[in-house]
Amino acid sequence: MKLATLKDGTRDGQLAVVSRDLKTAHLADGIAPTLQKALDDWTFIAPQLDLLYQTINSGRGHRAFDFDPANCMAPLPRSSQRVAGTAYLPQIERACKAAGQDIPADLREAPRLVQGTGDAFLGAQDEIELAYEQWGIDYEAGIAVITDDVALGATADQAHMHIKLLMLVNDITLRNLQQAEQGSGYGFVQSKPAMACSPVAITPDELGDAWRGGKVHLPLRCSLNGKLTGQPQAGADMAFNYPQLLAHLCQTRSARAGSVVSGGGVANKEVKKGFSSIVERRHQELIADSVISTPYMLFGDTVRIEMPGEDGKSLFGAIEQTVKQAQTRRSR
C-alpha cells in the first residue's frame, strides 16, 4: 500500500491512497482524514485503505485522479517523536578517520539516537529555505520507518511488528553549525532544520524480498544538480536494523503511533558506491588527498533522492528540492 498526504491548506493535509505505479490517487476521506488518524487505529483502518488501494490498482476507482508529487506534503506532516539513529558505521568511521580519531568502541555495541525536529516536515518538492549559505548546507539521504504504538520495553522482534510504513528522508544538516552544537554536549537544534520526506510512504510488503532482516536491501540514488553523487546499498552495511533502533528507543519509554525513526545517512564501506551526503565525500577527500574540494550546497542547487525497486521503477517517488534564500533575510 502507498499513502500520501495532499496539501489542502491545513497543517495535517488530506490522506490519499496512491496507485502502485504512482500515477493515480484517491482521497481516503471516507476512511481516515489524515495519516495520523489512520495510525491511531491502524488495525481497523489499514484493511479499509488496502481495499481502496486494490481498487485503484485495478483501475476501478471512480474518483481517482492524476497523482502529482508537487501537491504533496510529507506523508506524515508532523510527528510527536522524530528520532535518528547511527545505524551506518562506515559514515562514522570515515568521519573519525578524517579527524585522526578512532571510532568509539561502544558505538559498535548499541546505536546512538538523536531527537530531531518533528513538528513540521517538508514535502518532497518543498524548497529548502535558509538564511545563509555559510551555514554549510548539506543533504543527508536515508530511510525512516513510521510506527503505531510500541510498548515500553519492547524487544526487537516485538518492535518489528509495529513498523507500519517506510519513507525516504532528506535529513537536511547545517554542517558549519553542527560542530559547535556537538561540542556543547547537547543535541542538535540549529544545525537540524526541518527534514523532507518522499511523496509517499509505503507498507513493508511493497518492498517484497527487499524487506528482510528489518532492513531495506535496495540502492538509494542521490543526485546533485543532475549529477549522480551516490547509490549506496541501504541494507549492505547497516549495523543496527530498524527493529533494533526501535527497541533501543523503547528501553525507557513507549513510542506512540506516528513515531518516525530513521537510521541516518545510508553509507557503504565501498566508496565506489558514492555517498548519501556531501560531508561524506568531503571526509573521503580528506582521507585520500588531505584536501577538501567539494563545497556544500549553494542557493539554487537542487538535490534529488530516489529509490528504484527491483524492477527499476520508483518505489517512493522522488525527493527533489532546491535551496532558496529565505525571503525574510533577503529583505533586510
Please say whether the beta carbons of 165 and 3 come within 8 A: yes
Residue 74, all three cell numbers: 510529507
Judgement on whether residues 45 and 130 belong to the same structural domain of the protein: no
At residue 177, the pLDDT reads 87
Judgement on whether residues 122 and 158 belong to the same structural domain of the protein: yes
Q: Range of 6's domain? A: 2-70
Closest CA to 128 of 307, 299, 291: 299
Boundary-marking domain end, from 36, 70, 104 = 70
Please say whether the beta carbons of 302 and 322 come within 8 A: yes
Backbone angles phi, psi at 24, to 5 degrees: -130, 160
Judgement on whether residues 13 and 147 belong to the same structural domain of the protein: no
At residue 107, the pLDDT reads 82
Report how far residue 125's alpha carbon sits from residue 68's, in angstroms, rounded to the nearest whole number. Answer: 10
Instruction: For residues 266-270, give the mean pLDDT.
Output: 95
Report how far residue 141's alpha carbon sits from residue 195's, in angstroms, rounded to the nearest whole number. Answer: 10
Report how far residue 189's alpha carbon sits from residue 187's, in angstroms, rounded to the nearest whole number. Answer: 6
Judgement on whether residues 230 and 207 belong to the same structural domain of the protein: yes
Instruction: For residues 206-233, give the mean pLDDT.
Output: 97
Judgement on whether residues 202 and 293 belong to the same structural domain of the protein: yes
Judgement on whether residues 89 and 29 belong to the same structural domain of the protein: no
At residue 332, the pLDDT reads 42
Judgement on whether residues 258 and 203 belong to the same structural domain of the protein: yes
Predicted confidence (pLDDT) per residue in 140-152, tens digit: 999 999 999 999 9
Share of the chain above pLDDT 70, in %: 97
Residue 310, all three cell numbers: 527491483
Please say whether the beta carbons of 322 and 127 come within 8 A: yes
Judgement on whether residues 264 and 138 belong to the same structural domain of the protein: yes
Q: Is the pLDDT of residue 125 over 50?
A: yes
At residue 190, the pLDDT reads 79
CATH number at residue 122: 3.90.850.10
304 exposure class (CB count in 10 Å sphere: 0-12, 13-18, 19+):
buried
> Sorting pLDDT into bands at 50, 70 and 90, what band is 183?
low
Residue 203, all three cell numbers: 507498507
Instruction: For residues 164-169, give the mean pLDDT.
Output: 98
DSSP 8-state code for residue 12: S
Boundary-marking domain end, from 46, 70, 94 = 70
**Residue 105 half-sphere exposure, CB side, CA atoms within 13 Å?**
0
Judgement on whether residues 199 and 63 belong to the same structural domain of the protein: no
The overall average pLDDT reported for the chain is 94
The model's pTM is 0.94
Instruction: For residues 197-216, give the mean pLDDT.
Output: 98
How many domains is the chain built from? 2
Report how far residue 175's alpha carbon sits from residue 279's, in angstroms, rounded to the nearest whole number. Answer: 8
Judgement on whether residues 61 and 181 belong to the same structural domain of the protein: no
Judgement on whether residues 256 and 317 belong to the same structural domain of the protein: yes
Neighbour tally for 190: CB within 10 Å: 11
Predicted confidence (pLDDT) per residue in 97-107, tens digit: 998 888 888 88
Q: Is the pLDDT of residue 120 over 60?
A: yes
Q: Specify the higher pLDDT residue, 300 or 112.
A: 300
228 strand-pairing partners: 223
Q: Is the pLDDT of residue 331 over 60?
A: no
Boundary-marking domain end, from 12, 37, 70 = 70
Judgement on whether residues 51 and 129 belong to the same structural domain of the protein: no
At residue 77, the pLDDT reads 98
